[in-house]
């Protein structure tokens, strides 16, 4: 054999081998989550839900012959940290898609260069405000107005309370919801005379709550995650008020102590999987039923709410890759927008070129704690 022919053969063989090795390389999913800081409770659940979903997909052969691999980075619930970890996952880990947590400010801050890298973002947060960035982002959150409307509906239909105060944290998500809460209130015949912001690490909200009481507000619409809900509950009790506290969607581990403190004065927006037993039979209960045993096997009785949404994000991603028959970011993105409606654990996701917030029908329920257990109130 001539030397030239030998080298050509060797090159062809090595190229074929390299191609096969590439095909077997796992498809990397970048995950920017606040494993510490104010968003930790939610984002840890999100991370653990992704873990369950990826294990499930890999156990069923992966996607297009490739396994999925999570690259998880802690953004410490801080936007600056999020920028750092997003950059690292793009340049060092070469992730093909992001399925990131609920630190909206961090996702917003990273969006410009994630878009430049043409990597789709599946998010637990709201969408970035710039249209060119939102074009690459898909939110698995229900529209923020659903959380607000569920609480207002309850007040309108089940109570005589028509004056409320809004207490919100400075995150973009909470800010956005606050604006919605103020604007939507008149539709429900509700007045919002006091709107107060807090910082997640503030030690006391007694003065904000007293201000609401002084303005005759009989309910507090609390917008924000984490232990601040417990502080609010304790402060209401400390002040001896009959004020209702209506909390945001959050981890049950955070919500339960608030329920223990205020009893029936505390209500919260519940995701379907948080109240699985109370759901009617149907596609929603069936999908939660597929996820829940896998979750419980790994995590016991931990709140499945946010983890279920993470499961949904992985399942939509897998469907999109299969529909696109490709791992290319642009093709995955195009496929997400043409998928048929996907029944997830958090509701039905119906993405399209113009709808990037997949849930379009309010899936929430209003929950409270009775005897230490979650019950549906409406």
Provide the binding-site residues for other proteins, judged by CB under 8 A: 35-37, 40-41, 44, 170, 196-199, 201-208, 210-211, 213-214, 226-227, 230-231, 234-235, 237-241, 251, 253-254, 257
Nearer to other proteins, 205 or 349 (CB): 205
Report, in Å, the least distance between residue 73 CB and other proteins. 17
- CA nearest to 185, candidates 167, 163, 209: 163
Report, in Å, the least distance between residue 238 CB and other proteins. 4
Please report how the helices 252-262 and 228-238 are oriented relative to each other, as an axis angle in degrees rounded to 10: 0
Report, in Å, the least distance between residue 214 CB and other proteins. 4
- CA nearest to 243, candidates 165, 154, 149: 165
Nearer to other proteins, 109 or 212 (CB): 212
CA atoms within 13 A on the CB side of 176: 15
CA distances from 186 to 68, 155, 157, 213, 223 (A): 47, 13, 14, 20, 18
Report, in Å, the least distance between residue 179 CB and other proteins. 14
CA distances from 226 to 5, 36, 148, 263, 304 (A): 67, 11, 18, 18, 16
Nearer to other proteins, 202 or 378 (CB): 202
**Cα gap 148→247, rounded to integer Å:** 10
Nearer to other proteins, 35 or 366 (CB): 35
Please list the alpha-helical segments (H only) found in the chain: 3-24, 40-59, 79-91, 104-116, 131-134, 144-158, 172-184, 206-214, 228-238, 252-262, 283-299, 305-324, 329-336
Residues with Cβ within 8 Å of residue 128, at least 6 apart in sequence: 107, 108, 111, 134, 137
**Cα gap 50→52, rounded to integer Å:** 5
Nearer to other proteins, 237 or 377 (CB): 237
Nearer to other proteins, 27 or 295 (CB): 295
3-class state of residue 50 by DSSP: helix
Report, in Å, the least distance between residue 200 CB and other proteins. 9
Report, in Å, the least distance between residue 366 CB and other proteins. 22
Nearer to other proteins, 293 or 372 (CB): 372
Report, in Å, the least distance between residue 28 CB and other proteins. 26
């Amino acid at each position: 054999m001539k030397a030239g022919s030998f080298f050509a053969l060797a090159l062809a063989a090595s190229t074929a081998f390299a191609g096969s090795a590439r095909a077997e390389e796992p498809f990397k999913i970048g995950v920017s989550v606040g494993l510490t800081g104010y968003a930790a409770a939610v984002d840890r659940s999100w991370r653990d839900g992704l873990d369950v979903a990826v294990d499930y997909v890999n156990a069923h052969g992966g996607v297009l012959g490739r396994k999925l691999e999570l690259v998880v980075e802690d953004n410490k619930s801080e936007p600056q940290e999020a920028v750092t970890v997003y950059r690292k996952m793009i340049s060092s880990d070469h992730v093909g898609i992001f399925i990131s947590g609920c630190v909206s400010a961090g996702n917003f801050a990273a969006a410009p260069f994630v878009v430049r890298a043409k990597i789709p973002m599946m998010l637990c947060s709201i969408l970035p405000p710039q249209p060119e960035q939102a074009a690459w982002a898909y939110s698995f959150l229900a529209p923020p107005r659903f959380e607000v409307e569920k609480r207002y509906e309850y007040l309108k239909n089940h109570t005589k309370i028509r004056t409320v105060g809004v207490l919100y944290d400075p995150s973009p998500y909470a800010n956005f919801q606050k604006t919605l809460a103020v604007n939507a209130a008149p539709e429900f015949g509700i007045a919002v005379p006091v709107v107060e912001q807090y910082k997640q690490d503030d030690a006391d909200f007694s003065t904000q709550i007293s201000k609401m009481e002084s303005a005759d507000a009989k309910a507090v619409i609390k917008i924000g995650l984490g232990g601040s809900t417990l502080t609010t509950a304790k402060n209401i009790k400390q002040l001896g008020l009959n004020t209702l506290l209506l909390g945001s969607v959050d981890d049950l581990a955070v919500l339960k102590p608030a329920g223990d403190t205020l009893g029936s004065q505390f209500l919260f927006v519940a995701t379907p999987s948080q109240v699985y037993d109370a759901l009617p039979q149907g596609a929603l209960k069936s999908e939660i039923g597929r996820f829940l045993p896998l979750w419980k096997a790994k995590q016991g009785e931990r709140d499945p709410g946010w983890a279920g949404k993470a499961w949904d994000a992985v399942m939509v991603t897998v469907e999109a890759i299969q529909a696109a028959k490709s791992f290319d970011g642009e093709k995955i993105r195009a496929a997400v927008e043409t998928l048929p409606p996907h029944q997830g654990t958090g509701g039905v996701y119906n993405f399209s070129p113009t709808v990037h917030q997949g849930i379009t029908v309010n899936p929430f329920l209003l929950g409270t704690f009775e005897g230490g257990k979650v019950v549906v109130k409406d």
